[in-house]
Structure 1
């Protein structure tokens, strides 16, 4: 049999974005196209500036390993002028995180990048093994997600770094969009879909250079480059709600291959419609007037036809010697738009971390753990997010 030829380099070396079947690309073409797309994402979104010190959130999984490899390659090739470091979080999960941290240490040596490890035990006085032993396996991802997000920021602050990049890919973002839709949490879409997350209340900026890269492409790139990564899933994650969203996304992808990026772009469009600031009484009044004006225009435009129909019905009934009550019953009023939760970002009064409430979610969770009341009712704030554990 003749050898399988690359579907592109045999005719032209032009970089074609999103070919229908990348399995037909040779190794060289796929690597070139993948790295060029990441470079395009970085330059289009202006993620970095020269001389910036960037921390790569590293867990030893395929996503963070590929991110570290690609950033190191592109930084040298295109002269970004970045100073790169690896920042890893030790959640304290025996048989999982201790093994993956060994992979991170090997990556640090392979790429020649400094490594900084921050542990839950040092920051919170709890490991995830201890948390799960107290609260059980159901709902433990809420604790881990809140703690992990804050730990990354605190680790970056310890290093004097103000920019953290994470390995979230297109599949992760699509799952987050789907989770927010299933929970009816539209205000969080802006933070979930944005390629850059930043607030005036925090000096730490986050970005997702792999936002538009499929998970399958990341695995294929790691395979072609022979990267060393840890592939075991977290032992506490099977009960996470994200798993249901992931299964739904994968089923959609089987029917429509472009479903993942379609969901991501739909999330971006919906996020642009959600007010980014606080919903004030003034904005609510404006929305109410808009609905009222629409209803008024609708009623006024059809008023003549309605009167003519009533007159005709009344004439027919009078001719038949019957009487009818033509009292017009107005349509029930349209429901007012749901008031979006206020998102006044400030700092926690206890730990100083970014929070939409007086006390951040991490401190509230810790209070429940320390008081042996882990199942206390906690109001969800803007800083809460079910971060996907990098596996």
Structure 2
């Protein structure tokens, strides 16, 4: 017997929503998916009329769907925002170079200006070079710190007021679990905020905060969006992967576990007598930091000295003290010219001429096929093993 959509009661149900369990048709799914994101934007006053907004674009499903939905909602509900695409080229051969081709195609498909900033230009190191120096154990720490600052630097070049990222409900729940496992009280208190506070100079927000990853994949699949579906070649050893595996096991037992974890994080409160880090400004690059030297400058110094582990673990405090002393002391002209440093934020100039970036010939790019959502309806899959590969 054909099951009808529980919302319109007219069309055949094609999708079972992971979040609610409702069996709905394709058109109703598009409507509720976009409307929920619109309600998140309105309820939290994410945008202001006339605001310049940069969409963090990696070419993956989250950022591609985010760009498509924001452009659609901006036109449908007249947010009055000027949208841009902002990408970071970490310098990962066989991954980022191919995924950026997807971003370049999205630039043409959505008719949005695109700005690409690279680790090599900003820091003098590509991610491939960092991995050769560091190894695969702590490379994600370097990438995360550098990317966070690279987005802000790109935002200053674009002259935008706001950055939106494609972090979804699964990502936020994983971050909460990671901070609990590590006992990181400072980050645990703010990782559930829809606005990123204390880690960025530019206002950031996460419109997908309550959106399940599976629904994002479904939306991209049924809308036939152009996105890059391969994971980073350096991510298998990342600490986040363990939190993701644990979360997917929980979700297979209780689908609402993701939202439940987020609500638990939102209810988290820190006692007033707990000492929290105070916001400072990095003495070298002018970026926000809880110390005199920011994490990016500290890691960059370790790379330049051939001691990449200086900025990680037990050596962190001593290294910051040494770098601060070196900054305050007079340097010779030779030391000043040979030391690789990032440009000070106050000296970043706005890029007023953003020319379209043409993608390469698709036949020369490794573009894997999009992920096909499995178990969309559970008519005949109740006895089969749950799909935990998302």
The TM-score bracket by the shorter chain reads 0.7 to 0.9
CA distance in 1 between counterparts of 2:191 and 2:248 reads: 19
Aligned to 2:224: 226
What is the CA-CA distance between 1:195 and the residue it aligns to?
0.2
5+ unaligned residues in a row in structure 2: which ranges?
A: 12-16, 321-389
- Give 5+ residue unaligned stretches, structure 1: 276-282, 285-338, 382-390
Of 228, 247, 250 in structure 2, the residue corresponding to residue 249 of structure 1 is 247
Deviations 1:35-89 (A, max 9, x none): 0000000000000000000000000000000000000000000000000000000
Assess, with a 3 A threshold, how the Cα gap between structure 1 residues 186 and 60 changes in structure 2: closer, same or farther: same
Which of 316, 321, 324 in structure 2 is aligned with 1:378?
316
Give the match's secondary structure for 2:220: helix
Are residues 1:347 and 2:346 paired?
A: no
Q: Is the 8 A contact 2:19 2:256 kept in 1?
A: no
Q: CA offset at residue 4 of structure 1? A: 3.6
Q: Which residue of 2 aligns with 1:360?
A: 294
Aligned to 2:58: 59
Deviation at 1:162, TM superposition (A): 2.1
Corresponding residue number in structure 1 for 2:38: 39
Deviations 1:195-221 (A, max 9, x none): 00245x964100000000000000001
Larger radius of gyration: 1
Cα offset for 1:274?
1.7
Contact 2:161 2:203 in 1 (8 A): yes
> Matched residue of 2:308: which SS?
coil
Spell out structure 1 runs of 4+ moving beyond 4 A: none
Paired residue for 2:167?
Answer: 168
Per-residue deviation at 1:132? 0.1
CA distance in 1, matches of 2:309, 2:295: 14
Alignment size in residue pairs: 311
Conservation of the 8 A alpha-carbon contact between 2:59 and 2:228: yes
Whole-angstrom distance in 2 between the partners of 1:372 and 1:202: 28
Q: Tell whether 2:80 aligns with 1:98.
A: no
CA–CA distance in structure 2, aligned partners of residues 230 and 91 of structure 1: 16
Please provide the CA RMSD for this pair: 2.0
The TM-score, its normalising length taken from structure 1, stands at 0.76
The secondary structure found in structure 2 opposite 1:54 is strand
